[in-house]
Structure 1
Amino acid sequence: MPFPFALPTTSSVLLSDCFSSVTHPSLPLQATTKRSVLKDTLKKHKRLPAQSRSSHLSIVQDALTNYIPYLLALNTASSFRDVGTERVDVDVVKPLEVEWRTPLTAALPGREAPRPKLTGIHNEIAFTFSTLAHVHVLLARSQLGFLHGSPSLSQDQRTTALATAMKHLLEAHSILKYLLSVPSVSASKESPIDVQPSTISALASLALAEATLTVVSKDDPYAAAVADDRDETNRDWMFKAPTIPKVRAHLFARICLAAAEHASQACGLLTGNTAGKVDEDLSKYANDLRRTARAKSIRFLAIDTELSGNTGEGLAWLRGAKKELGLAVELEDGKRKGFRGLKQSWQEKREDRRIEKGGEWGMDAGRLEEARVVEMLEAKWDRENSAVNVQTVPPFEPLLARLPTGREYHTPQAYEPPTLDAYILTQLRAPPDPEDLAFRGDEEDSGGEERFRRGDPPGAFPGAGLDYERSATSSSYY
């Protein structure tokens, strides 16, 4: 399940005060207007309830897509390069200074993420494109959340949702890779941890790992069987058992190992960053995704082995998968026992409640869900082995030592950012009307973030907490 990124917010800035153009004098003014719309959209998105944010993501995506062509035009022209086939002269009047909220930077519990003042257009480009990548990840998350929230979907509906999620994750990966190709961004060493090259590379690896696992989820009947088992209205288990072709089981194992390699690379980049400390939830998620991908690959190897008639060795593979998940809980008659089993069951129920309420679920990267699948297979095979096959279960450590190599499934395409049309560039040659002012946005520069976060006094009108505060010069309540 993709990570639930929090979209950043930004301050207001007049690009027309920082850039001027002799050939296209309306360009800085129009860029300011597009950016102000983006600023308002991000602030409104932050104040929405968690259940309403997924439907607002398309509006944020449109605001980013409309602003990027003007931002790239200013960056290209200020570097004495042509915009498309047209020459655009842009002079830098003063360095661009703007504030961006940094939600991936570690902060004290209960504190808002910092919003440092950043200098240079390269920071503006980095935050704008990384925000667009986060939007695509959140769109993929909403598609996968639709699957988990509605377990009784048809196969066509599941395939469509998974294909859409995969498309968004690959788009996020391409955007982040494009951002690393921007020289001013990749060479920046003083930027916040959110847009450091190592963090951008880690996020790109995470997106690719999640897209790779989505390929397997599309044709994984065992995960669907566990989801159907939790659906009280489902009765398919009475007449149909999940099956999987033997050849594809080994192929899926190698694809999952490739995803684990990408997640491991992301985990190393996030934990080894010396420029600052990344949010702990993101680092933990990357580690859980690596463990989930490895356990899933081992589970497919177990399926491949069991289909060959080696049930004992298949059980050994499953125990190795539980070891990778960090949930080595013994089963007794198909049920967990001990304190660790009770704790795992409590965590799964809490995760189910989060899915029902639409909260920040999936922070374990599917680790608990994979544990359910492994335990379902282990209980089933253990009963069969005890009653029919009676094969010895070997130790799993030698099996884990001979895991196959990973196999890449995707060939990510290069990202092509939106550019200004020739017709729009022609219109920007006209000088702006002296009476026209740049649109600063409807939201306050602070976005009301401090005001909306502070609790109101009892009985006060919502949002009127500031009216009840004492004045700074008063030393009395009266």
Structure 2
Amino acid sequence: MPFPFVLPTTSAFSFPSSITSNSHPSLPLQASTRRGVVRDTLKKYKRVPPASQASSLPNVISSLRSYIPYLCALHAGLTHHPVHGEDVSLIVNSPPQIEWRPTLSRNTIPGREPPRVKIQSLSQELLFTLATLANAYTLQARAALHPLYQTTTAPPTPEQRTNAITTATRHLLDAASIFDYLSQQQGLHQAESPPPCPEIHPSFLLAQRSLALAEATLLAVAKDDPYPAVVALARNPHDKEWMFKAPDIPKVRVHLFARLCLAAAEHATRAMGCIASIKGTVSEEFVKYLEDLRRTSRARACRFFAIDAELAGETATGIAWLRAGLAELGIERKGDEAGKTGGLGLKGLKKEWSERREDKKVERGLDWGADAGRLEERRVIEMLEGKWVKQNDMMFTKPIPPFGPLLAQMPSGREIHAIKPYQPPILSLEELDAMRALPQERTDEVGHEASSDEGAPEPSQVGVFSVKPGDYRTGTPNYF
């Protein structure tokens, strides 16, 4: 958590080859220059090993934010919207032929990258660019949270944990703001051709908005939730504290945390509903992540209700809530397996293997958290269940009620975050006035990487010399 997005790549394209401007002649060329930087940065980011890609994200975001004002100016000129009160006059000589390689589409050929899709409007180019920026913000949130899940280094201090969660929340809200803006811009979706892939489909953009908001809501709970950190410390060999005080959560805030988790589950459910009509074209990993996020959010809410019951002295009811959380995670338990967190059986070995596999993903910095925190929540619930079952068997000896009626009594969710309106960056008045000058140089393919043999001199044949006029001089002056 958050979802491990893969940033797309794009083909080379020169705006002057299809668009000219009478009022601002340099604008298409300057936009092509910025777009070439974006293309080069995305390709370099893709070639970097996955464990080292986090350090390249600032360059990707900087190049996208530098390109967006020029792209918005071109789009404003085509849609007859003024920029700083000035009209940008554009002439479309031919439809733009731009290619993007989607990463969230269902791959028809396993083991291969999805094919590139062609777009023929600046509206779809703007959708792709802004969606890529939002996904880059989400990846920055993952990079900020990564140290909290590592077990091979010293555990983070409470201040470091708070700073990491605060930074990740800010990035997720920035991503949600962009997706909210894209989903509300009807003019961007009224292109002549339908969306070539789900990445720029209105329903999918709305689903990503709900996803980012759900993840930010869960982080608001994680900032003050001590139990995942306690479970992580138990697996960290660098933890020197062999004795620790039981985590304390104020009783008043337990209900608040539970309702926040339910709100995150509602956002995840809303995202699943948004992609229901295009589910067959979306990658299976993304669809599964939404389902896991919904299950994890509801299971976490059940855990907080269990903590509330245990604080009130109702340990048996708390155990029932914990088992309701396991049921929400999709874990089926038999009667004789209740309260057992492991064992030497096949299920215990399979669970231990899954935990070690996830820990290795965290250490290597790969696609960790692709289960939306489902395994982490299971660890916490099973830890509390094993502890409370022993207490109930030895001290209270009360029967554990069924958890079905408890799930029917769950309240509605409560929102905590408000999405700020996103304002795309625009060119300053000085930059726009500078575009009135004629371009100093012309290029056909800005940002195009020539092949190794492109522009190389033709090899000469053996015994043949390439002679040009003026290569050799004689004693007679050459006047012509």
So what's the TM-score if we normalise by structure 1? Answer: 0.90
Q: CA deviation at 1:78?
A: 1.5
Q: CA deviation at 1:439?
A: 6.5
Alignment of 1:13-24 (within 5 A): 13-24=13-24
Alignment of 1:349-360 (within 5 A): 349-360=356-367
Alignment of 1:193-208 (within 5 A): 193-208=198-213
* Letter of the 1:200 counterpart: L
Q: CA deviation at 1:185?
A: 3.1
1:291 aligns to what?
295
Q: Is residue 2:426 matched to residue 1:423?
A: no
1:128 aligns to what?
129
Deviation string, structure 1 residues 312-345 (Cα, Å, up to 9, x no partner): 0000000000001112343566534643332222
Alignment of 1:319-358 (within 5 A): 319-329=323-333, 330-331=337-338, 334-336=341-343, 338-358=345-365
Work out whether residues 17 and 444 of structure 2, in 8 Å CA contact, stay in contact via their aligned partners in 1: no
* Letter of the 2:402 counterpart: P
2:10 aligns to what?
10
Which of 420-429 and 322-331 deviates more? 322-331
1:234 aligns to what?
239
2:400 aligns to what?
393
| Local SS of the residue matching 1:238 | coil
2:177 aligns to what?
174
Work out whether residues 339 and 389 of structure 2, in 8 Å CA contact, stay in contact via their aligned partners in 1: no
Q: CA deviation at 1:311?
A: 0.3
Q: Is residue 2:187 matched to residue 1:184?
A: yes
Q: CA deviation at 1:80?
A: 1.6
Which of 126-135 and 339-348 deviates more? 339-348
Residues 1:185 and 1:81: Cα distance change in structure 2 (over 3 Å): closer
Deviation string, structure 1 residues 361-401 (Cα, Å, up to 9, x no partner): 11111000000000010011111111111111000000001
Flag structure 2 segments of 5+ consecutive residues without an equivalent.
Answer: 453-480
Q: Is residue 2:264 matched to residue 1:263?
A: no
1:119 aligns to what?
120
Q: Is residue 2:313 matched to residue 1:306?
A: no
* Letter of the 2:386 counterpart: A
2:72 aligns to what?
72
Q: CA deviation at 1:182?
A: 2.1
Distance 1:21 1:346 in 2: 61
Q: Is residue 2:443 matched to residue 1:437?
A: yes
Identity value in percent: 48
2:35 aligns to what?
35
Distance 1:291 1:81 in 2: 45
Which of 81-90 and 107-116 deviates more? 81-90
Q: CA deviation at 1:442?
A: 5.8
Work out whether residues 166 and 211 of structure 1, in 8 Å CA contact, stay in contact via their aligned partners in 2: yes
So what's the TM-score if we normalise by structure 2? Answer: 0.89
| Local SS of the residue matching 2:91 | strand
Q: CA deviation at 1:183?
A: 2.0
Q: CA deviation at 1:136?
A: 0.4
| Local SS of the residue matching 1:418 | coil
Work out whether residues 133 and 173 of structure 1, in 8 Å CA contact, stay in contact via their aligned partners in 2: yes
Distance 1:237 1:293 in 2: 30
Residues 1:179 and 1:340: Cα distance change in structure 2 (over 3 Å): same
The alignment of Structure 1 onto Structure 2 pairs a total of residues equal to 444
Residues 1:192 and 1:159: Cα distance change in structure 2 (over 3 Å): same
Distance 1:159 1:382 in 2: 32
Flag structure 1 segments of 5+ consecutive residues without an equivalent.
Answer: 447-478
Work out whether residues 12 and 445 of structure 2, in 8 Å CA contact, stay in contact via their aligned partners in 1: no
Work out whether residues 285 and 365 of structure 1, in 8 Å CA contact, stay in contact via their aligned partners in 2: yes
Q: CA deviation at 1:151?
A: 5.9
Residues 1:151 and 1:286: Cα distance change in structure 2 (over 3 Å): farther
* Letter of the 1:283 counterpart: V
